[in-house]
Amino acid sequence: MAKVVCVLYDDPVTGYPKSYARDDVPKLERYPDGQSLPSPKGIDFQPGQLLGSVSGALGLRKFLEGNGHKLVVTSDKDGPDSVLERELPDADIVISQPFWPAYMTAARIAKSPKLKLIVTAGIGSDHTDLQAAMERGITVAEVTYCNSISVAEHVVMMILSLVRNYIPSYQWVIDRGWNIADCVARSYDLEGMAVGTVAAGRIGLGVLRRLKPFDVKLHYTDRHRLSPDIERELGLTFHANVESLVRVCDVVTINCPLHPETEHLFNEALLGKMKRGAYIVNTARGKICDRDAIARALESGRLAGYAGDVWFPQPPPQDHPWRTMPHHGMTPHISGTSLSAQARYAAGTREILECWFEGRPIRNEYLVVDAGKLAGVGAHSYSAGNATGGSDEAARFKRG
């Protein structure tokens, strides 16, 4: 029997849904690059249900408890007195989502002698100290590609919302106003602008493909250059480094993993090299941006807008400056946890668990750390070292 600790976000304040806005979600056959969708032997949920909150339990309760395993589901994850902290010493498996991450620090890993598997129900495992996992021989896996297009759609929405000044205009309607001049005083067309992505993996490339019909000039930088065919198809300009890209772009979207080389990449110096009045959209990880430098750039007018759904820590404290800085379009971390995406990453989590319990290999594309080394998607996306050094800091924050 294994003990599985699953950290999920809270249920809706009105209670777990009894009905939904739609009766179903579209069924996808494959991902855009041909990778197959998760393929567990079975699922115990209806796609389109809320699975990422505590009561949803990722649809795993029947499967795990029916096979004699113990499942602990909690949203209480931060600090020494949290449920997560109390349950770790005899946990075999820890599961959490990037939207409500269980910060698996070196200290937490050290106090979990039975821990063998850490699963990210979603994509992005930087909330785990990967170096500590490698040293302990713990397997780390995530459900690669499950919500990449979900995030890409969210990026396009946020770019348009910032450039067209949508959020303040919507607020005038809520306030019973009709203040057209106030609405359009910061509203521009996206057409003709230069838009660049920092990283052109599944999410970044998805953003580029969705933006091409807007007749914008597309730029990208990535440690892995795209093929000449894709560059020609989308009319892409490649930049060897991020400094070259930000100098020419009106809009920059951040889609790279968090690792030692990208932590606080967007600091005071880099922001100073951007075009005045540029926009940033960050749906990657909050710590890729220097928190206070972003707020100052918006206050000074260096940036015209900043939007995203990633913070550090998550959830952020009430006094986090990104809640109150001007011209922002911040949301909770929701881009990759639409009901559509939840069905995929819940199924992928079950597939990983089925493989683990049955002694079958986990798909290579799902592996981040295996046998003491970066593997699969981890070898492609991360570098050795701890990208989550600040997770010890995060553990000290109280829920905001």
* Annotated domain spans of the chain: 3-146+337-374, 148-330
Would you say the CATH fold of 148-330 matches that of 3-146+337-374? yes
Model confidence at 107: pLDDT above 90: yes
Average of per-residue pLDDT across 179-208: 98
pLDDT-based confidence at 386, cuts 50/70/90? low
Provide the annotated active-site residues. 147, 285, 314, 333
Average of per-residue pLDDT across 306-332: 96
How high is the pLDDT of residue 48?
A: 98
Model confidence at 388: pLDDT above 60: no
Average of per-residue pLDDT across 207-222: 98
pLDDT-based confidence at 383, cuts 50/70/90? confident
Model confidence at 260: pLDDT above 70: yes
Q: Where are the beta strands (DSSP E) in 143-293?
A: 194-198, 217-221, 236-238, 251-254, 278-282
Model confidence at 102: pLDDT above 70: yes
Average of per-residue pLDDT across 22-36: 94
Sorted by sequence, the CB contacts under 8 Å of residue 68 that are 6+ apart come out as: 1
CA distance 142 to 93: 13
Average of per-residue pLDDT across 339-353: 98
pLDDT-based confidence at 393, cuts 50/70/90? low
How high is the pLDDT of residue 391?
A: 44
Token couple for 254: 């951040």
- Topology adopted by domain 148-330: Rossmann fold (3.40.50)
How high is the pLDDT of residue 382?
A: 81
Q: Give the pLDDT confidence of 274-311 residue by residue, as tens digits.
A: 999 999 999 999 999 999 999 999 999 999 999 999 99
Model confidence at 397: pLDDT above 50: no
Are 242 and 273 spatial neighbours (Cβ–Cβ below 8 Å)? Answer: no
Are 60 and 69 spatial neighbours (Cβ–Cβ below 8 Å)? Answer: no
pLDDT-based confidence at 115, cuts 50/70/90? very high
Q: Specify the range with the lowest mean pLDDT, choosing from 182-196, 325-339, 386-400.
A: 386-400
Model confidence at 70: pLDDT above 80: yes
In the chain, % of residues over pLDDT 70: 96
Model confidence at 390: pLDDT above 90: no
**Is it true that domain 3-146+337-374 has CATH number 3.40.50.720?**
yes
CA distance 287 to 67: 39
Token couple for 348: 């992928």
